Amino acid sequence: MKILKKINNTFFTQKRFWMLLIKKIGYLSFMLFLISVISFAAIHASPNSFFAAGELNPNMTPEVLEHLKAVYGLDKPLLQQYGDWLVNLLTLDFGVSFVTGQNVIDMVADRISITLILNIVSMLFVFVISIYLGILAALHSEKLVDTLIRQLALISFSMPSFYLALLLILGVSVKLEWFPIAGLHSIEPKEGFAYYADMARHLFLPIFVMVFVSLGSMIIYVRSLVVEILKSDYYFFAKARGLEEKVLLRYFILPNLMPPIITLLGLSLPGLIGGSVILESIFAIEGMGQLFYLSALSRDYPVIMGILMVTAFLTLLGNMLADLILLKLNPYFKRG
């Protein structure tokens, strides 16, 4: 009977996993389509265009401007432009940059790795530090440790990322000269382990800023969850049995803490990726965020649309993975 029950539970879990996966893929596809429609309409509704500066150039005749618009397909009706762009999008063809003439997919591919490194490393640090400090504050509720951690969370929550970045550049980089001001590598080329050590040294300040400004809300959220767990009946009876604090933490606090934390991390992806646009521009890091900022200044619409779609895909993919992890942790998990 135990074997049959185990087989039924395994089949039930696998069936729910595949059903949720198919549902999430359909949801992801629909949301990407909706985001593409809204983004395309918003960009083409903007008052100025890339060719507006060319109209002020006396060397750019109206015939030349019309020829350029025909080359980029901007002379077609708006609905046809979107249809052609959407068809090309299915083959990962985001078009050609107005500024450089390069394929947008190649420009994004050259820069996306450093943006992913910044966001993934930052998220891992936020996950570990917030859980540790949140649990520590809850276990010492209303004591000095709890007060200090809550004050740290308040400072983190209210600190703008660009302001903290500028303070660190002035204090740590310019005056103390502990870390580089900007860039991804030193002027003198390095090889082997020194290459990655130099890269880590350049990325320390951006990652520190991203982690610090994201900690506040996570610490408060973790603390409130743990405080509720400590008031629960199952924790009270487990503690009454004389179990050690490590056992209580491992089997009663962390398992009940993981699902909401994973959900919140999935929802925080847009904020992290959006924050990288500002920080990559401040620290002159040649990532996808800086490319988006420069493209917005030059009104390079194909690059803007390409980055928007890649960012939307990564965000939706992160949320989908969070739900699949939740299903692994709890087979009876259900998300509407």
Is residue 18, in this structure, part of any structural domain at all?
yes
Note the pLDDT of residue 322: 75
Is residue 336, in this structure, part of any structural domain at all?
no
CA distances from 87 to 31, 81, 101, 106, 280 (A): 17, 10, 20, 18, 31
* pLDDT tens digit sequence for 139-167: 888 889 889 999 999 998 888 888 888 88
pTM comes to 0.78
Mean pLDDT (whole number) for 124-150 = 88
Is residue 206, in this structure, part of any structural domain at all?
yes
- Indicate if the pLDDT at residue 204 is higher than 80: yes
Is residue 1, in this structure, part of any structural domain at all?
no
pLDDT above 70 covers what percent of the chain? 79
Mean pLDDT, rounded, of the chain: 78
Is residue 30, in this structure, part of any structural domain at all?
yes
- Indicate if the pLDDT at residue 267 is higher than 80: no
Mean pLDDT (whole number) for 178-195 = 77
Q: Which of 23-32, 158-167, 189-198 has the lowest mean pLDDT?
A: 189-198
User: Which range of residues forms the domain containing residue 243?
Assistant: 13-329
Is residue 307, in this structure, part of any structural domain at all?
yes
CB-count burial class (<10 Å; 0-12, 13-18, 19+) for 72: middle
Q: Which of 51-60, 235-244, 252-261 has the lowest mean pLDDT?
A: 51-60
Is residue 204, in this structure, part of any structural domain at all?
yes
Q: Give the angle subtended at the CA of 47 by the CAs of 41 and 50, to the nearest 5°.
A: 90
Residue 134 near residue 218, CB atoms below 8 Å: yes
* pLDDT tens digit sequence for 75-122: 677 788 788 888 888 888 887 887 787 888 888 888 888 888 888 888
Is residue 200, in this structure, part of any structural domain at all?
yes
- Indicate if the pLDDT at residue 58 is higher than 60: no
Distance CA 118, CA 88 (A): 29
Q: Which two tokens stand for residue 277?
A: 């646009």
CATH of the domain at 86: 1.10.3720.10
Distance CA 221, CA 228 (A): 11
Number of domains the chain is built from: 1
At position 9, the amino acid (one-letter code) is: N
Note the pLDDT of residue 4: 42
